[in-house]
Amino acid sequence: QEYTGIKLEVVAWSAQARDTIERVEALRGKRVFLVAATLRPETMYGQTNCFVGTEINYGLFAVNETDVFLCTERAARNMAYQKLSLENGVVTKLAEIKGTLVVGTKVKAPLSKYEEVYVLPMENVLATKGTGVVTSVPSDSPDDYATLQDLIKKPAYYKIEAEWASLVPIPIINTPTYGDLAAPTICKLKKINSQKDRTQLTEAKELVYKEGFYSGTMIVGDHKGLPVQEAKPRIKEQLLREGHAFVYNEPEGVVMSRSG
């Protein structure tokens, strides 16, 4: 599986993360990025937040002399063989941090109308897929939209500030069947109310993937008016060129869907 790794630079650590991070000498003066694996780089215009799994243990890994990636150790090990580590084939872990502490951190979201977004908790993040970090596009990802609905309804239960989940979905792609906000529309049609509605969410994801890819048209950005199929590789190239993304390959045999 080939993913696009999106680099979300940390602007401000959450209060709980700050303690852990500031204690680590090796991180002083370094740029830290949460790295999210996506199959849909053309949707980066619509990022409203980033998701981590609260129970997942993340590492902070040196990519070169100046930059550090926050992701699962599993992903860092794969990256070490893809020229995405300080030393080829070697993982250099500078620190460890649990997902729950990362929640509330503010990061930069490349291409998004919202330049800075918050890290929020998602129950269905798989530690065994991608980087264990997911960038959230509630306009076009039913999982992201449903999760945000949970967070908006119960911020205290999810231990977040309501404001962190308050950025509204951005219309970025038009589809003939689901309009300009495919994920919210399909969630309403299928009466999906929560990230826990796994069966309906899996169906919704398949439908929105197909509709977006084969019939979607960009309605924002440099490729406004172009079919998604044509815009996708161009937007990916732009992200790579500008240093906001990298190609990340996941070895066969460990790829699982979010529903398991």
Q: Which stretches of the chain bind ligand ZZB, using CB under 6 A? A: 37-40, 43, 124-126, 129-130, 132, 134-135, 137, 140-141, 205, 208-209, 257-258
Q: Which is nearer to ligand ZZB, 15 or 39 (CB)?
A: 39
- Asked if residues 12 and 108 have their Cβ atoms less than 8 Å apart, the reply is no
**Least distance from C-beta 209 to ligand ZZB, angstroms?**
4
**Least distance from C-beta 230 to ligand ZZB, angstroms?**
17
- Residue entry with tokens 């990022």: 47
- Asked if residues 146 and 194 have their Cβ atoms less than 8 Å apart, the reply is yes
Q: Which is nearer to ligand ZZB, 30 or 170 (CB)?
A: 170
Q: Which is nearer to ligand ZZB, 30 or 205 (CB)?
A: 205
Bridging pattern class, strands 116-121 and 49-52: parallel
Query: How much of the chain is in helix, strand and coil states, percent to nearest 5?
Result: 35, 25, 40
Q: Which is nearer to ligand ZZB, 21 or 201 (CB)?
A: 201
**Least distance from C-beta 64 to ligand ZZB, angstroms?**
24
**Least distance from C-beta 205 to ligand ZZB, angstroms?**
4
**Least distance from C-beta 45 to ligand ZZB, angstroms?**
10
Beta bridge partners of 36: 6
Q: Which residues contact 200 (CB under 8 A, 6 or more apart)?
A: 190, 191, 192
Q: Which is nearer to ligand ZZB, 114 or 209 (CB)?
A: 209
Token pair belonging to 114: 């919202």
Burial of 135 (0-12, 13-18, 19+ CB in 10 A): buried
